[in-house]
Amino acid sequence: MKTMLSLVTSLVLLGNMAFAQVKWTVDPAHSNVRFEVNHLGISVIDGEFSKLAGAVESKDSTQFNQAKISFEIDVNSINTRIAARDKHLKNDDFFNAEQFPKITLTDAVLTATKKGEFTLKGNLTIRDITKPVVFKVKQNNGVITDPWGKKRAGFTASTSINRMDYNIKYNDKLPNGVEAVASEVKIIVNTELVKN
């Protein structure tokens, strides 16, 4: 009986170890979400969201294959360095920050493609529209221990979306038909994670 009890206890402990998750938090002071969009067909305008939060759960403290990710961006933190443009981006032509103050990435999972590289598939919500999105992700130099003894990992993720798919409906065009603000938007996310 004692042998059976020991065996069951060992199996339970092994099962708990197998399903244990390592939790990480996005360090907002060392992370950013940037975007780039073509203007008038001749130049690129960029900007960022300066307030964000996120969490990651990995299977262990060094491997991120199949890690689960959630991310939240404060739309009101948009910054393109031009106050009038930022105000316009917050109104209903673009993000409608009053009604939809958050952009979220949910149900997202990292899948390794080769050493240090991943795809990230999840559901991106902007305004009241949720659509699947795929990011290309690169891990930046593995996992390190910072001078204060904390484990950290850094990633850069990129994708492009069609803003019209998310009801970001501003659609002025030049007489030749070129969009004043292009529909395609490039997104670059630089994230530094801290192990909890």
Q: Contact at 8 Å (CB) between 110 and 69?
A: yes
Residue that has been written with the tokens 């948009």 in this structure: 78
Report the pLDDT value the prediction gives residue 56, as an integer from 0 to 100. Answer: 97
Of 123, 126, 50, residue with least CA distance to 95: 126
Report the pLDDT value the prediction gives residue 42, as an integer from 0 to 100. Answer: 97
Report the pLDDT value the prediction gives residue 3, as an integer from 0 to 100. Answer: 55
Residue that has been written with the tokens 């244990």 in this structure: 20
CATH architecture, domain defined by 21-195: Beta Barrel (2.40)
Report the pLDDT value the prediction gives residue 37, as an integer from 0 to 100. Answer: 98
Domain ranges of the chain: 21-195
- Tell me what percent of the residues of the chain surpass a pLDDT of 70: 90
Phi, psi dihedral angles at 69 (to 5 degrees): -135, 140
Report the pLDDT value the prediction gives residue 71, as an integer from 0 to 100. Answer: 97
- Cα–Cα distance for residue pair 14/109, rounded to 1 Å: 24
Report the pLDDT value the prediction gives residue 13, as an integer from 0 to 100. Answer: 44
Report the pLDDT value the prediction gives residue 2, as an integer from 0 to 100. Answer: 53
59-89 pLDDT per residue, tens:
999 999 999 999 999 999 999 999 999 999 9
Q: Which residues of the chain have pLDDT under 70?
A: 1-20
Of 111, 35, 24, residue with least CA distance to 70: 24
Residue that has been written with the tokens 């990710």 in this structure: 69
Helices (H), 60-152: 83-90
- Six-digit token string for 130: 């949720």
Report the pLDDT value the prediction gives residue 20, as an integer from 0 to 100. Answer: 61
91-117 pLDDT per residue, tens:
999 999 999 999 999 999 999 999 999
- Cα–Cα distance for residue pair 18/160, rounded to 1 Å: 36
